[in-house]
Structure 1
């Protein structure tokens, strides 16, 4: 079945709808890209078509960006930097046709557009966002150990300025519609029922199909160098040396901005390649996204798994006392960014620790504790004895895994990172020794 469909109305406005039938969300796969390019070519070559609106057929969802489940396996597959470069450069080279085809494109953003999804919207000369707090936009790749590699590191600074763009990208900010409009990321925010109509009306107004970055002069070299030194100091202080993505983002921005856009896009792909092929991005994507997604599924099924032996405690006063003796506690921790849940197992008969206390205090902020039957050893409590030494933590993690004190490598990594015992760049107590 088709992923991309194109219809042309009586006024000559093409509606290009993205709707992958095999996925719950649109992802910028090679298949979607190929069908989108075919639609762009039709718009460009049919004389009766005046312009196009790119929209999503997924209710409340625009485009989710790259396929993280595929990206997370790049390191294990032995992806070379040349292969990683081509993933980014092919997209940048081919999707440039949206900007260069000679006809105006508007993006009708009906929901979240993060990473590659927002980079697709940036390719359009006009962006209309639905007025819904769930419709967040932004370039969040640094949080996954990558950088915006679909043109975002080059287009966003040219659109809203270097300082504003870098702050958003380094912080992996997700902007709600009013923030996105105020920051200049979108051109209009409208109710859902008017989204397509407003985007279509803009196309019909006959705006020149030009982008600001194809006409703006290069920034002053001296000012650019001063800005670079300033941002390098901030990144060094905030991220240190273990996170390569922020440093690579600075190189992409400051090496690319003095150049014409097409050359800047090549710089972006060059800076992106070692990140996707490297292990830190694998660790951050796996622990921060894949494992949390798995934990989310397990946690939502916890009551059914535990049956009548589980006692759910819907209210907890946040005190530092441990759960009832002879039981264990499964903590469902809401992720601040995407409301995902993660789980950490803490023994009930272990003395209260700093992690136990922190989790107890977190309960008052919405964490739901579930009391489990006895018999599960205390993994986090065992790791606390080795705090401060990654080598010792890794050895204890593997020992606990072999003894059955923790169910899986994924649980060990997730618990050690969320418990504050391993820094996220390591991926957790198991991943750090891979």
Structure 2
């Protein structure tokens, strides 16, 4: 491995990369990705890694600051890897994400939307209702660390607070670390997951060895003091069980559609409750499904889009790969009295020829795939007869690839696309696109 030159160097930042780092070029044209730097800035930087095609560096000093630079709210910014954009003004963050989306559509998909939708935003702080803290006992420091991974993912950030997590959890990180540090099993707890419904906040403690009675009592006391529900996870997902209280209610309401979604502690839900409601409303408007129509909702999860859709159409069919989520989606349909929503389990990244729902006629398609996108299922679906496709994406590169397929190979038109700030202060880009034949 080539030696890294530690000599500080001055450089001008030209752009913002998709991961939130500043992009610059050496005099010989080699790209440099500079952590903590913004477009238009001149910084003193130090190299941290090198490869054949680009170098990596960190900002030592800002010599000429961007007009959009702000003071990060969090004392852990720059070390904790949970956020990378707190030093950029909030209204500029979403514009940077919009540029990432449009560049991906053009460069990867060779497509341009007819309309760029106004960005969807909600509160920028205290929004994260689902996540996972890593836990590590550090003997040298004689303390237990609880937090997200550092920018160097080998290490756990020593957090005292987190401003992007909902305040009921974000202000309790130190208390959580002190709790675990005082437990007999402190070396056997690698992570704590959190998830919040409207009325209940759950902490799920993963533990690699059985917990002592003393530890279980300490967890219950902590739950009672801070108003948490505690679940334990001694093994796989199926091992998760309530410690206290016995049967906490986990649910959130989508009030605009009079829908309540119940979930389990490790289920996928959208992390940003306020943005989620705006996203559903936007998807419904773009899809424009009519009362007499059938709609197909792929990667439907618990029914986040399916059940609101069911309030206004003849029938909606949800398909999801996780059998547990399909079970809960069916239960949610019954819970909300929606007999016109049906759900099927299917791995949408595999051959779907044997599934009868594939051959049913649909008027409109909504699709909300994981980061890998939806190319496999789109190539198998009978798209003829569909009036619109709405595609909700958590990864602009896979959306761009799939948009390119729909437009350039199947003859569809990308009528509109835009970004949604599901994860403020991170480089994560959530977007939505609408296609017509």
Provide the TM-score with structure 2 as the length reference.
Answer: 0.26
- Structure with the bigger RCO (C-alpha within 8 Å, sep 6+) is 2
Q: Which is strand-richer, 1 or 2? A: 2
